[in-house]
Chain A
Amino acid sequence: MERKEQIGTEPSAFFDRVSLWERVDNDMDLLRDLVRIFGQEYPVIVQKLDAAMEARNGAEIAKLGHKVRGAALQFSAHRVAATAARLEALGTAGSLDGMNEACEELKAGIAELLDGLRLMTNGAR
């Protein structure tokens, strides 16, 4: 409870910080590590996603969407996870309709999630 207070309880539109904090078992070091890794992976993912979009590579888009979904779920970021799932499904189906929108929405969502996570972990410091 003591540490929970340190991360703050204000609601976030991008992730459930209480749920996340419980899942990492109130382990700030672990959470920071996760955020750091996510921060390192994010630009690579976005780069790959752009390349796949340009190449209209549905399978790659699905694979990247799946990967982002996994990460988002770990951070209890359900809205980002839902967008990633949508992109994954579109990629799997090879459907171009709405793919650009979904991709852009996902990239924005990831950026905001990362900001929120950094805020959470820095605020706790």
Chain B
Amino acid sequence: MALNSDIKEVSQMMGRRPETLNILLVEDSVMDARFITGLLKGSASGFKWRHVVQLAEALSLLKSIRFDIILLDLNLEDSFGHETFARILSAAPSTAILVLSASDDEELAIRTVREGAQDYLVKGSFDRRLLLRSIHYAYERKQSEEALRQSEATVRSIFENSLDGIIITENQGFFMEANSAAGTITGLPHDALKGRSLFDFLGQEQENEWRTLRDSGSGRTRFRVRRNDGAKRLVECGFSANILPGCHLMVLHDITEQQDLEERLRQSQKMEAVGRLAGGVAHDFNNLLGVITVYAEQLHLSAVEPQQRLRAEKIMNATDRAAALTKQLLAFGRRQVLSPKLLDLAMAMADITNMVESMVEADVQLKIRVQEEGLGLVYADQGQIEQVILNLAINGRDAMSAGGVLSIEIKSYTSPEGSSEIPPGEYVLLSVADTGVGMDDETKALIFEPFFTTKEMGKGTGLGLATVYGIVKQSNGHITVHSEKGVGSTFNIYLPRAAVTESAGAMTPKHVPERISLTGTETILLVDDENDLRNATAEYLAGCGYKVLDARDGREAIELSGKLEGNIDLLISDIVMPNVNGRTLVNHMRETRPTTRVLLISGYTDDAIIRHGIFLENAAFLQKPFTFQLLSLKIRALLDERTQ
């Protein structure tokens, strides 16, 4: 049965009539049934038939067997007239039905044919030829109808299920048909689109573009669709004019998200490129600052007149600011490696207050409140915490285009037991609050996602709050946001309070240009391809009592080391140098002079150095620019450590 059925299906698909037509004869008159089957039997055509006398039997058979033709008498024992036809049609809508009736009832004949009967034959009016012809025609017509219906169903299904919006318009742009996806794009139920105009959703400025497209026959363009709710979608429109006379096809593909994604990717790549550029610039800039710093310091130390001393100090202050700028540049490019230390948030805030002040607009009032006593320390990277504050301040500022109050508060906070928001414990709380536009819950849920931004194009990277989140999490902290639309937003950052009370920063010597007592008599090999910096440093170190050997690059240093019979107590070396670089030199020294301490100096960040292949194990690092005082401290620490 299944095989036969398959053969029939294939045959039908190929548009051929099966060799044997399967007929259901529904006839309560034994004589009429004998007459019809007698005519069929004598035919050369192949027929197989089943005869039933009642409608119920017929309906039961139709549940399990698919017939090609139903020969149907309307007046049966258990059903009469049109109802018989209606019930058979409902049970076998895809099968050709040929009505046989003793009633020469024109009205009934037309009605049944209109509703789907293939023919209506009056008993006594047909012979074998007419019956067979009617059967064959009925079958072929039904097959054609089914094929057409199937084709229409396929097209309708494609139309309805297409993920792209499909709209048929007439000449003036009024919608004749629109599918569900078109409804999604325009923000209206698709059945409400019929009769609407294309220009209800396009700006008038796009009207000419559409007319040009229509007149050109076919093509593609992009439209900005203004949805019914006011939102805008960017759609790519494929257009084919006159698919039927006066009917034009538009296929709309919503590319809003794709466009956004591409824009974000471009922005991200731009940030990456800027970051690389910033890193490179920072290196050269730091080298130059190094030279300026050491000479300014020398000037300061050798100054006799107070005026000269003051001028040297101004140069040194300027280099400090330039160094800070370089640091910001590196932070912007996210090229700094996290180096957490015990940190006083009050001091960190003080360091960047000027920068925050310079960022806010004149119509934004900045309020900074810092707890003066008992604040406690946190374990975090100062540069990154500064970045957090700056990012949140910028975010607050941008939320207040019409002015307002930007409040930054730093205080200690104890999260109680049972707190659901923040785990219980001691924290230093950094709050940044604005009185700006605020956010709805939907926006609030997305703000820490990378690349999410509510700012207009070109104003935000979508990385600001994502970076804040990452830094806070990396610092074992917590962040919460409270926001109300039209009222403003408050970001609370909770950093765990460290158990100790004195920060490492407090040990860092301040910029006091006095000749220091950190002198020595050890031998130092100084290697740097920056001649000015090397000379000035060598001169300074010699003035401190050290025996200084200097070399322009790694190769010269290796030669010098090879010839020298005495000790080299300390190697101070730049890393990126021509010929033999710092890495090779360090490796050589570690092999030939294992007791020599190493201090690496570079205008690159430590991150860049690590990527350059030099590991800082057993080697100290000092980033350019540095002061002589800092250098002396570092040298003394390294040499004294060796002797201990």
Contact = CB atoms under 8 A, between A and B. Distances in A.
Interface in B119-137: 122-128
B219 interface: no
Interface stretch (A2-10, A23-31, A47-55, A104-112): A23-31
B306 to A, nearest CB: 134
B35 A34 contact: yes
Interface in A32-81: 33-34, 37-38, 41, 63, 66-67, 69-76, 81
Interface centre among B29, B102, B127 (most CB of A within 10 A): B102
B230 to A, nearest CB: 67
B145 interface: no
A70 B27 CA distance: 11
B347 interface: no
B123 A30 contact: no
B407 to A, nearest CB: 94
A57 B79 CA distance: 18
A74 B123 CA distance: 6
Contacts of B75: 63, 66-67
B440 interface: no
A22 interface: yes
Contact of A34 (B34, B102, B128): B34
B102 A66 contact: yes
B127 A73 contact: no
Contact of B127 (A23, A37, A41): A23
Nearest to B75: A66
Contacts of B38: 24, 27, 30, 33-34
Interface in B85-138: 102-103, 122-128
A76 B124 contact: yes
Nearest to B100: A70
Given A69-B102, A74-B35, A41 B30 contact: yes
Nearest to B41: A30
A25 B42 contact: yes
A30 B31 contact: no
B131 to A, nearest CB: 9
B55 to A, nearest CB: 15
B30 A27 contact: no
A23 B34 CA distance: 13
Interface residues of A, number: 23
Nearest to A39: B31
A91 to B, nearest CB: 13
B357 interface: no
A74 B124 contact: yes
B122 A38 contact: no
Contacts of A72: 124
A74 B31 contact: yes
Contacts of B35: 24, 30, 34, 74
A63 B38 CA distance: 25
Contacts of A37: 30-31, 34
Contacts of A22: 127
Nearest to A72: B124
B47 to A, nearest CB: 15
A104 B347 CA distance: 125
A45 to B, nearest CB: 11
Contacts of B127: 22-25
A37 B124 CA distance: 16
B610 interface: no
B547 to A, nearest CB: 133
A73 B39 contact: no
Contact of B125 (A25, A27, A69, A73): A73
A63 B80 CA distance: 9
A27 B124 CA distance: 16
A21 B35 CA distance: 12
Interface in B14-32: 29-32
Contacts of B31: 34, 37-38, 41, 71, 74
Contacts of A27: 38, 42
A66 B122 contact: no
Contacts of A73: 102, 122-125
Interface centre among A22, A34, A70 (most CB of B within 10 A): A70
Contacts of A33: 34, 38
B31 to A, nearest CB: 4
Nearest to A75: B124
A71 B102 CA distance: 8
Interface in B121-159: 122-128
Interface string A10-22: 0000000000001
Contact of B102 (A25, A30, A70, A76): A70
A98 B298 CA distance: 143
B40 to A, nearest CB: 11
Closest 8 CB pairs of A and B: A73-B124, A70-B102, A30-B38, A23-B127, A37-B31, A25-B128, A73-B123, A69-B102
Interface of B: 29-32, 34-35, 38-39, 42, 75, 102-103, 122-128
Interface of A: 22-25, 27, 30, 33-34, 37-38, 41, 63, 66-67, 69-76, 81
Given A24-B38, A73-B102, A81-B124, 9 more contacts: A23-B128, A24-B39, A33-B34, A37-B31, A66-B75, A67-B29, A70-B123, A73-B122, A73-B124
20 contacts: A23-B124, A23-B128, A25-B39, A30-B34, A30-B42, A34-B35, A34-B38, A37-B30, A63-B75, A66-B75, A67-B29, A69-B102, A70-B102, A71-B32, A73-B123, A73-B124, A74-B32, A74-B35, A74-B123, A81-B124
